Amino acid sequence: MRTKENLCRVFENQIEKRFLEKLQINRDQLVNPGTGRIPSRLGDAGAVTSIILGAATGTTIVLGVGSFGIGSFVGAAMLGVTFSVTKVDKRIKKSKAKELNSKVQVCLHSRLRCIIMDVARELSRMFEYHVVELGSEPQIGALAECAVNLMLQLKNNDKFDRNTLLKKVLQDAKVDKTQLLTQNGDKWFDMDVFRKPGLRKVILENGSAGFEYYVKSTEGSKKDACDTEKYGYRGQFLEMKYDLEDEEKEVSKKKNRIKCVFSFLSKAKDEADNCEDACDCKVSCTESHENCTIGHQYFCESEIDSRYKKPQKPIRVYNPIHILVQCPKILVDFNLLRNRKPSLAGFLRKILHLPDDHLVLPVYRAHSARKILDLRNSDLTGSDLTHSDFTESVLEGCNFTNVVMLFAELARARMSHSTFCKTLISHSILTKTIAENCQWVATDLYYSRVEGAKLRQRLTEFGCTLVETNIDEAEF
């Protein structure tokens, strides 16, 4: 069935599939380490350490390790990792590289896959209108191919992260244009789909709600002008930032943390346990990851979007299904509806005056590091809570059906009596979370930390798929 949601999922899956293929990463092995071989090596030249990926682009991409979550290998969750990019000839000397431990290979590549999945979902949200207008899988696949080719135009010292990859698509990189055909017979060029639309903003704060439309003020230059008559409008691009104070603390830790991790990789585990003094977070490498992380994440308007200053009245209105929520107060206001509280999707549908039968998928990207402390008994069905910080929050009795949480912070959260159905939780922190008497149905918990979590029931007995999550360290 070709619904808007299904077409967006096709786009996301095509980006992930094509990106991993170009990095020569076996998708099956990320779930089942016994399948196939991952072509990765660890290059170690003194203080410079890198992960070498064979790319199907004529070069080899070397991802330099910027920082590691100290306890991540023990918990098998690659959290707190940053990569920088170097491009070298494929004939790189093998004498400088050694094969990675198979478990570390899977963890590293799962981290990369989660970043790509995050980027794919953001592009799907921003360019939902265009994906829906294309309508057919071959045309959507061609647009996904263009996005991947743009993202792979990596330069030396680029960071391999969501911000960089999205910027490559929106303005930084260039590839040869390919023509696309919409279901209405219009002819588009793939790269222009990412560069020529106007900007559609979702306004949900200060007592106002609605959509606003803008184009770039080009000051007489047509080269970079929007063509909204042809390409319509896209959603907002938000850059991910960190709390400055905690980011500065992280910089001072970086060198010691890298030494800790690669001591762990190159020596026996009992030697790695002695790295406590080397890491100034003052915890053992086998203890909770949370004390070694950088600060709270938040999202702000990008410089790219700040150029869209000229208000515009659209020729035709498209109501998106992905509704972006930036203001934490919106969730607070929603939570205050104690009597007959609707779903979050229903709440947003009402304040935006959308039709009653219009599907709404909330996407929460907070514009400040403020935590949402109480969302108990909320219906969060269909929400994207990627990068959300719910540390110590009250989430008891919530409905997490079809919710996606990538890189989420849920440490010490109270989540008992909640329902998890077709929920995806990946590379997230659930240390000391209280999640007793929950319903688990067709839920995936990948590469996450759950030590000290109070679960009462064994998740695998209740329809939960676990991959490289340290479930044995939870409390039952």
- In this predicted model, which residue has the larger pLDDT, 184 or 459? 184
Query: What distance in Å separates the CA atoms of residue 216 and residue 200, rounded to the nearest whole number?
Result: 12
pLDDT over threshold 50, residue 3: yes
Poorest-confidence range of 207-211, 367-371, 421-425? Answer: 367-371
Average pLDDT for the chain = 79
Count other C-beta atoms under 10 Å from residue 360's C-beta.
23
Q: What is the pLDDT of residues 142-155, one digit of tens each?
A: 999 999 999 999 88
Mean pLDDT of 367-387: 90
Query: What distance in Å separates the CA atoms of residue 18 and residue 113, rounded to the nearest whole number?
Result: 11
Q: What is the pLDDT of residues 278-306, one digit of tens each?
A: 333 322 222 333 323 335 678 999 999 99
> pLDDT-derived band of residue 123, with 50, 70 and 90 as boundaries?
very high
Closest CA relative to residue 457, chosen from 378, 443, 374: 443
Closest CA relative to residue 469, chosen from 454, 450, 455, 452: 450
Cβ(94)–Cβ(109) below 8 Å: no
Q: What is the pLDDT of residue 183?
A: 94
Q: What length is written for the chain?
A: 476
> pLDDT-derived band of residue 77, with 50, 70 and 90 as boundaries?
very low
Mean pLDDT of 391-411: 95
Query: What distance in Å separates the CA atoms of residue 410 and residue 414, rounded to the nearest whole number?
Result: 9
- In this predicted model, which residue has the larger pLDDT, 468 or 220? 468
Closest CA relative to residue 97, chosen from 67, 58, 55, 60: 60
Could you tell me the pTM of the whole model?
A: 0.84
pLDDT over threshold 70, residue 338: no
Closest CA relative to residue 116, chosen from 53, 50, 72: 53
Poorest-confidence range of 37-46, 60-69, 180-189? Answer: 37-46
Task: List Cβ neighbours of 49 (8 Å cut-off, separation of 6 or more).
Answer: 42, 43, 64, 65, 258, 262
**Sequential DSSP letters for 54-78:** E-TTSSEEEEEEEE--TTTTTTT--
Q: What is the pLDDT of residue 265?
A: 37
